[in-house]
Amino acid sequence: MALYAYIARDLDGKRLTGRFEAASEQSVLAELESRGLVPVRLELANERSGAGQRISSRALGRFYRQLGDLLRAGVPLLRAIRLLAGMRSNRKLSWVLSQVADSVEEGERLADSMAAFDQTFPEVQVSIVRAGERAGFMDQALDRLATFMDQRADMQSKVIGNLIYPIVLLTVGLGIVVAALVFFVPRFEDFFADMELPASTVLLMAMSDLMVHWWPFLLFGIALLLGGLIYGRAQPGFRRWSERVRMRLPVLGPLGRAIACARFCRVLGTMLENGIPLIESMQIARGAVGSMLLEDALEAATEAVSGGESLAAPLEASGVIEPDVIEMVIVGESANNLAEVLVTVADTLENRVDRQLAVAIRLMEPALLMLLAGVVLFIFMSLIVPMLRMSSAL
């Protein structure tokens, strides 16, 4: 069985797109014919889906900005996409844009063409483009989308950039400890053979023996642990449990909540700014917030808003959204300017994340140095104490 993407027209000439899972093209054509559809294009979905074509937020933001500028200058949409597809600074994006341009040339809407490449253009971006097409403010929608992508890229850069030094420090520290256990400690094994050793030295020699002689089993255990974590990440229950645990940690908890809140406010506020209805925006935002607890809260909030209730109460019940953000949401709902409030809150939260991340890194660096110093001191004392006992006994 294979997945096929099709473009077809019905008896009224309306253009339709979709996908079928079938054994062959003939099966798909027969199914389309039974539905009274005339195929315009039919191909394997993986040839058109952009699978593996993940593009950075910075590159997408640049594309949306340039496309908006070209449209504002009066360049036709198809010609603008072809022009941007011809730029070779990002070959993956150029290939995807060429496919999108082909679909637009055949009469498909830009948002529908982008939706076929879900690995490149997530649902949030497609929805904003579709809203701009429907309302006739395409260039403004693209500018807002470009700003959204740039701010998202800035946020990612801040988080990754601040974590580089602690990760390097931790890697170097682990490398030193492993090298000591594998190459340095075994040299004392014969020397300590007939001695009564303290518990710390026995533990150190056991750790060294594990690293030297039992490393295949150690690697298997590590691989088993990593596999279990990867499998657990795919289970909603485990993800909710691990997220609740992270939220309770002293420094990482508030930081994780701030990042989740900022992402939620940025996504939902940007979609509302572009004229997407609240309920539809919340449904789409569920898959973009990156937090299982927030996804559950958004699901409850969607049901509440559909029933005419407030958005703030279900969000507050999640325990992820900060109280000051809840107050701002209440004010935004009351004043009927929720989109503007959410974008403002996102800016504030991202600045807060920057400060909290800086504090966390300042605390993490000396903690890692002290941990590394403690491990080195443990190795040194475990080796030197038996020698001191032997010299005092002579």
pLDDT tens across 326-376, in order?
A: 888 888 888 888 888 888 888 888 888 888 777 777 888 888 888 888 888
Q: What are phi and psi of 286, to 5 degrees?
A: -55, -40
Rounded CA separation 149/284 (Å): 16
pLDDT > 60? residue 1: no
- Max CA separation in the chain (angstroms): 104
User: What is the 3-state secondary structure of 253-265?
Assistant: HHHHHHHHHHHHH
**H helical segments located in the chain:** 25-34, 45-48, 57-72, 77-85, 91-105, 110-115, 123-135, 138-179, 199-213, 215-233, 236-247, 252-273, 278-285, 292-306, 312-318, 323-335, 338-393
- The answer to pTM > 0.75 is no
Q: What is the pLDDT of residues 115-151, one digit of tens each?
A: 888 788 887 788 888 878 876 778 888 888 888 888 8
- Band of pLDDT at residue 51, cut at 50, 70 and 90: very low
Return the half-sphere exposure (C-beta side, CA atoms, 13 A cut-off) of residue 239. 13
All structural domains of the chain: 2-48 (3.10.20), 57-150 (1.20.81.30), 151-394 (1.20.81.30)
